[in-house]
Amino acid sequence: MTYIFDIDGTLTPSRLRIDETFERFFLNFINYKKVWLITGSDKDKTIEQVGEEIWNNVDRAYQCCGNQVWSKGELLKQNDWEIPLDLRFLLEQMLDRSTYPHRFGNHIEERVGLVNFSIVGRNCSQEHRETYFEWDDERSERLEFTKEIKKSFPGIDASVGGQISIDIHPIGRDKGQIIDDIDGNFTFFGDKLEEGGNDYPVLLENTKRELEGNEFFSVKSWKETNNLLLSILQQGIL
């Protein structure tokens, strides 16, 4: 059995460091279980959040939605991609069209195999991150922008990720590609498993392939993940 965890909103608060008590618990968990991480973030941001000890001890770390794969410090795979100029132009138009009043820079961030797009900008403070998340939760701006991107560029996919951003990449280069590497059954924990979220492709790919025996847990915070793992351990399910 492979246990797969998203990071933002699942193991940590969005873009923040993992809770110290939960970190100790999770380190003990990965000593006994086969654990993979998957996130839209790059290696450096992930290590900032979960720490080097967790990152170096999980069996695999899937960065940038699985477009860069590491195992205990060794790079296993990397899918490079450069954003098309007309897509960049559309994103700049969206920045102008958005009615959200604040901008803080770093709106179009190129990562390995994908582009991370944020209206408020990745340089914003935690307070503004949460303010935008609440604003977007009422208006679904990010979800509407993902639909527009996919309609304008048939070969490109887009999904809502974290609190403030959209992940954009070629079709098939999403988190669902992790299933190609799994041998046997898996259990997945994520906070964006709804349609349009960047964890959803894992669920969708599982459904398309008619795979059986796999479990998906939708969580909204690291505390839910912690409580869920404790409950499952107590029941002797893991």
- Does residue 8 have an active-site annotation? yes
Instruction: Spell out the residues 6+ positions from residue 58 whose beta carbon is closer than 8 angstroms to its own.
Output: 30, 35, 36, 37
Q: In angstroms, rounded to a whole number, what is the distance separating the alpha carbons of residues 8 and 10? A: 5
Q: Which of 8, 157, 167, 199 is catalytic?
A: 8
Residue 191 among the catalytic residues: no
The catalytically annotated residue of 6, 157, 174, 199 is 6
- The span from the CA of 36 to the CA of 17, in Å, is 18
Cβ–Cβ < 8 Å for 99, 87: no
Please give the positions annotated as active site.
6, 8
